[in-house]
Every structure is written in structure tokens, then in C-alpha cells.
Chains A and B, each alone.
Chain A
């Protein structure tokens, strides 16, 4: 079973990964986006860390994820704010008030979270978005957290030859081809952080 501390470790690892990779995310966002993905997410996850530090020590997993999601919606300033915010908030709502949740519940909740992201953005796998890492990543959660991280990494790399169909990159048409999607890349970081929190084990 996974308790609130597991989810705190996940979000803390995600914040550390965004801190470490912020420059790279912004670099990926330069040719096809507006060169702010790293700095936007960094602002968001710094705020998430502060919000979680201030959260009640007895807050259950679902409440922590909803708090983190709401914080991202408030602080990121770009499209990744409402998208990642919706992912965490919906996942948190699915987990409800339980103090501990099973890995199967985590997987089902994240699945609902990814569905909510797809609905919000109107995107599907293959559009060169976050979903290209999240969808295969969450599917591989059925095996293990480490497999989910690997599948999300592979999904992010696989966005390179894709033509962007959503967001600012889509305005570039064929010139969006040949660049790895920054949103898929940060999504892979998020699932790698989850595997780190789980200690790399299922």
C-alpha cells in the first residue's frame, strides 16, 4: 500500500527533476514552442513544494495530489499548468480520502487523470504532446513503476519524428518534425519520479 509519504516523495522527486532539467526543457521548447516550458514548470513545482510543506501532516494522498494540481494551475502561467494541474487534481480526486491506496488504485487513478488531460486539451496519442509519454507510461504501470518510467521515456523520444497537431508547435506544421516534444519530455520526468519514489520496484 502507498501512503501520503509516498506521494510526497513522488512530488518532491518531480520537483527535483524539473529543477535539474529545466534548462533542457526550455531548450526543447525553443525551436517549436515559446521557450518557457522549463521555467514555467520550475515556478510551478517550486510552489508545489511550498504548498506541500504547508499542508496538514495528516493530509491523505488524494488531498495532496489535488493541492499540488491546484497549485500548478495557479502558478505555471502556460498551458502545462492547467494540463498537469488537471492530471494531478483528477488523479487525487479518484484516490478520494483513503490514507493508503494500492498500486492498482494508483494506476486506475492516473488513468483517469490522463483521460482528463486528453479531454481538456482535445489531444490524442500521436499529436506530439504530453499524452505520447503519459498514455504508454500509465499503461505500463500494470507491470511496474520502473516499466512505466521506461515506457514514458520511449514515448517522449518517439515524438521526435511526429508532426505537432496541438498547441503553438502545430502552427509550425512540418517544421515541428525532428524535435522532441517538451511536454512529453516533462511527462516522462514525472513518471520517472514516480518510479524513484517507489524505489524502482513494482
Chain B
């Protein structure tokens, strides 16, 4: 891992359990050295299914080390909430919505960020997960 600040990863899902589990999986598969900061932002504030702008903002702030924050989303309101927050520049400087499959992209992003990759490379690694065909 390079000496500079690492990219933070935020995982936004409709479900707190999904966001937390995918974060745990990505951290586990990236293990082998220092792991980039990963924060789940799942469900609504009261524990229901949905997206909470407040949880997304708190998660992004918690993983921001100054090298940018890659946000991965599942679908619907999680995508739209992140876009709306980016539109009004409420997320940390250098935050980016990454166009990637949620789970596979999260693993790729955490592995890349943990290796010290800059935000562009983290986003590219996550997006490349779309190219992996399973059948």
C-alpha cells in the first residue's frame, strides 16, 4: 500500500443487513494487509428497507481520508439519493457514484483501494466487474 491517503468505499443498499454483509465480505476478500476504509449505509434510519441520505452522508464522512470516496449502490432510491447528494455537493470532495454491480463491484473496489489505487482506478476496477461473465 502506498503511503498516501486511501480511497474510502461506501456501500449503499436498501437493506442494512445487505450493506453490512457485503462490506464484511469485501473486507474479508481484500484481507492480507491494511484494508481501505469501508462503511455500509443500508436501509432507513429506523431500520426499514429504503435509503437514508443521513446514513449515506455519515458513512461517506467516516471513510473520507482525503483521496476521494467511491460510492456503490444497489438500485432505485439508493442510486437516486446518492446522485441527489452529489448534485448538491453534500458529499466529501472527490466523492463519486461508481457504476458497478453492487457485490462484485464492492469486492473489486475494496481490493483496489486497499492496494493504494487512486479513485479513477478504484472506479475502473469496480466497473470492470460488469465484464466478468458467469455463464
Contact = CB atoms under 8 A, between A and B. Distances in A.
A79 interface: yes
A85 B52 CA distance: 13
- Say which size band chain A's interface belongs to: 20 to 34
Interface of A is mostly: helix
A161 interface: no
B51 interface: yes
Nearest to B84: A82
A11 B50 CA distance: 24
A78 B80 CA distance: 9
A74 interface: yes
Interface string B37-74: 00000001000111111100000000000000000000
A89 B88 contact: yes
19 contacts: A36-B50, A73-B81, A74-B52, A77-B44, A77-B48, A77-B50, A77-B52, A78-B50, A79-B77, A79-B80, A81-B53, A81-B81, A82-B80, A82-B83, A85-B84, A86-B84, A89-B88, A121-B80, A167-B76
Interface of A: 34, 36, 40, 70, 73-74, 77-79, 81-83, 85-86, 89, 116, 120-121, 167-168
